[in-house]
Structure 1
Amino acid sequence: MRRTAAKLATVTAVVTAAALTIAPTSASADLVTHCVGTGGAVTVPNDLLVPAGQSCALTGTTITGNVSVAAGANLVVTGGRISGEILIAADGYLDAGTTTVGGGIDLASGGYGVFLKDTGTGSVTVRPKGSATNDSFLFAENAAIDGTVTASAGEIRLDRNTDVTGNVSTTGSYYTDVHDTFVDGTLSVLNSATGSVVCGSAVRGRTTFAGNLGGVQLGPNGTLDGCASGGYFGRDVSVTNTTGGVNVDDNIIDGQLTTTSNTPAAKVAANNRIRGGVAGDQAAATARVSAKRSVQEREAKGEQRAEVRRSSAVQEAVAAGDAGL
């Protein structure tokens, strides 16, 4: 298995929500709908809460307010429309497919993870792990992110025609991989524990990699992952202070490539088109070989976590029954 996010199956579930009025703090306070179980194509005319430790599976549901996923809770939503933002607490999980989220998505410290497929949303934030046990993840496939991606923990993968209108910035992630993705802003990957891969993607702004362990791979034929093609970088690219190897192959860089203080020295293939030239240390070019990940276990772990949590969430929601609205 290569370093790739899961091919997670689309979940088909019916939504059930039990309405609960929270005691208002003022005359204008909104009602909050609690969702425990399964239910269908209804409109929730206010905010929605998945209570701590509970599971909610929604299909075709419209939510006119914000959504909160409490500690240890699961929300699986398919074909939904959410007008506001989604806030996910520690050990909380969000799985959104063919869904539109008007606001952003915020995964708290120690949040379990976020999986987005064929889904549009605002900015996505993954908070620092801190003292939490969970190391979060963000997997996005064919997602339209109208804003930024900011992550300070976990496994981060943008894949399969994902589009980000703003910057992508990660600091202290477990890894950050960008495959078949368009980033309209800058890309910055700092202090990743096991490195970063960018393949078949386009980044319009400046791209910066610094302080990463495990290596940086731009394009195919590196040591981290196998992929079909390199990418396009619209501004300067800088790869510095990297441990574990730097491979740059089959890319177009409309700026300068800087490779300094990397151990070992960066390998820059002759087939790159680099408008501003290369500054810094380089190793001798090596023969092109088919690369496969030498640490494939990291991907398998993330895939298994997402699949297990999704299956468990749906089973729990179905077992809770249909309480109606």
Structure 2
Amino acid sequence: MPGRTVVKLATVSAFVAASVLAVAPTAHADLVTHCIGTGGAVTVPNDLLVPAGQSCALTGTTITGNVTVAAGGNLVVAGGRVSGEIRVAADGYLDATETTIDGQVVLAAGGYGVFLKDARSGNVTVRPKGSATIDSFLFVEESTIVGTVNAGAGEVRLDRGTQVERNVSSTGTYYTDVHDSFVDGTLSVLNSATGSVVCGSAVRGQATFAGNLGGVQLGPNGTLDSCASGGYWGRDVSITSTTGGVSVDDNIIDGQLTVTSNDPAAQVAANNRIRGGVTGDQAAATTNRAARTAAPDREDAGDQRAETRRTSAVQEATAAGDARL
């Protein structure tokens, strides 16, 4: 199992209290359903709000409007559908499994995190951390993003057959990793604190890695993470101004590989197939399995953080009581 964080989140079991609130005094007043606890296979004919500090768990629910998770709130959706967008405020959390989100998903600065599994959504955005003390995460497994992924903070991982139909762009994240996934546009990872790993994946467009402090690993036998294979790159790949090490192993690059201003110099294995050749400084690649084994294990820390949030959500929702949407 990969050493870097892989979120393992189960559906939160909670209880529900829900109410309908009329807002905006217009001729046809907009309605907002407030959800605290759990709801079933019903249709919410308007927008939905998870109030600040509350938890809401929905199974098979259809929401015809937009969803807002207020500050400190938790929303868990399984087998549902959201016709609009989902916006998650500071310290808020979204967990969507086997769910379709027609609109975008936006995690605000200081948002706790977003977990998508076997889901489908529009653009996904993680706002830069700013002055917030919480560092966000975005974990996506077996899902389709019909649009772009744009992350400005925290841990970012696309995994297990995830497809992004446009571009993936991250700036200033803790790390941005892509495992066993497909990006139909460009991939850009800039100024990541602990670098980037791409394994067993395909990127159709140009790929740019620059200013990453913890290294860049494309393919197996690097020091950041363990993986079985390299990937396919449809255009040029550029890795520049990187510290912590660069390794490129077992990749097919249908373009040029540029490796400049990296310290130490990039290791480019002989088993890569690079159509446009390599430019820049490079060192002989070596298999460094000992270093890979000793790489920092972020999985335990990530799971502990998710479990803490999950337990807290269950406790808060249980205390709220039970009602129907």
CA deviation after TM superposition for structure 1 residue 320, in Å: 2.0
Secondary structure in 1 aligned to 2:282? coil
Partner residue in 2 for 1:44? 44
CA deviation after TM superposition for structure 1 residue 18, in Å: 1.3
1:275-314 to 2 correspondence within 5 Å? Answer: 275-287=275-287, 289=289, 292=292, 294-314=294-314
Partner residue in 2 for 1:193? 193
TM (normalized to structure 1)?
0.95
1:127-276 to 2 correspondence within 5 Å? Answer: 127-276=127-276
Checking the alignment, whether the CA contact within 8 Å between 1:41 and 1:60 is kept in structure 2 is yes
CA 1:135/1:247 → structure 2, altered by over 3 Å: closer, same or farther?
same
Checking the alignment, whether the CA contact within 8 Å between 1:137 and 1:302 is kept in structure 2 is no
Checking the alignment, whether the CA contact within 8 Å between 2:247 and 2:285 is kept in structure 1 is no
Partner residue in 1 for 2:60? 60
With 191-200 and 284-293 compared, the bigger mean Cα shift is at 284-293
Checking the alignment, whether the CA contact within 8 Å between 2:185 and 2:204 is kept in structure 1 is yes
Checking the alignment, whether the CA contact within 8 Å between 1:175 and 1:194 is kept in structure 2 is yes
CA deviation after TM superposition for structure 1 residue 3, in Å: 2.7
CA 1:76/1:282 → structure 2, altered by over 3 Å: closer, same or farther?
same
CA deviation after TM superposition for structure 1 residue 212, in Å: 0.3
2-side partners of 1:41 and 1:151: how far apart?
A: 32
1-side partners of 2:186 and 2:176: how far apart?
A: 14
Checking the alignment, whether the CA contact within 8 Å between 1:155 and 1:302 is kept in structure 2 is no
Q: Aligned pair 1:109/2:113, yes or no? A: no
1-side partners of 2:248 and 2:294: how far apart?
A: 18
- Runs of 4+ residues over 6 Å off in structure 1: none
CA deviation after TM superposition for structure 1 residue 287, in Å: 4.1
CA deviation after TM superposition for structure 1 residue 5, in Å: 3.7
2-side partners of 1:287 and 1:38: how far apart?
A: 50
CA deviation after TM superposition for structure 1 residue 298, in Å: 3.2
Q: Deviations over 1:145-200 (max 9, x none)?
A: 10000000000000000000010000000000000010000000000000000000
Checking the alignment, whether the CA contact within 8 Å between 1:13 and 1:58 is kept in structure 2 is no
Partner residue in 1 for 2:78? 78
Query: Which consecutive unaligned segments of at least 5 residues does structure 1 have?
Result: none
Checking the alignment, whether the CA contact within 8 Å between 1:48 and 1:63 is kept in structure 2 is yes
Checking the alignment, whether the CA contact within 8 Å between 2:253 and 2:275 is kept in structure 1 is yes
CA deviation after TM superposition for structure 1 residue 12, in Å: 6.2
Q: Deviations over 1:181-238 (max 9, x none)?
A: 1000000000000000000000000000000001000000000000000000000000
The residue identity in structure 2 corresponding to 1:99 is T
Query: Which consecutive unaligned segments of at least 5 residues does structure 2 have?
Result: none
Checking the alignment, whether the CA contact within 8 Å between 2:57 and 2:76 is kept in structure 1 is yes
Partner residue in 2 for 1:21? 21
With 306-315 and 186-195 compared, the bigger mean Cα shift is at 306-315
TM (normalized to structure 2)?
0.95
1-side partners of 2:111 and 2:277: how far apart?
A: 42
Q: Deviations over 1:124-151 (max 9, x none)?
A: 0000000000010000110111000000
2-side partners of 1:287 and 1:173: how far apart?
A: 27
The residue identity in structure 1 corresponding to 2:280 is G
CA RMSD of aligned residues (A): 1.7
The residue identity in structure 1 corresponding to 2:41 is A
Checking the alignment, whether the CA contact within 8 Å between 2:143 and 2:163 is kept in structure 1 is yes
Q: Deviations over 1:23-45 (max 9, x none)?
A: 32322341000001112111110
Checking the alignment, whether the CA contact within 8 Å between 1:242 and 1:262 is kept in structure 2 is yes
Calculate percent identity across the aligned residue pairs.
73
Secondary structure in 2 aligned to 1:292? helix
Partner residue in 2 for 1:124? 124
CA 1:5/1:141 → structure 2, altered by over 3 Å: closer, same or farther?
farther
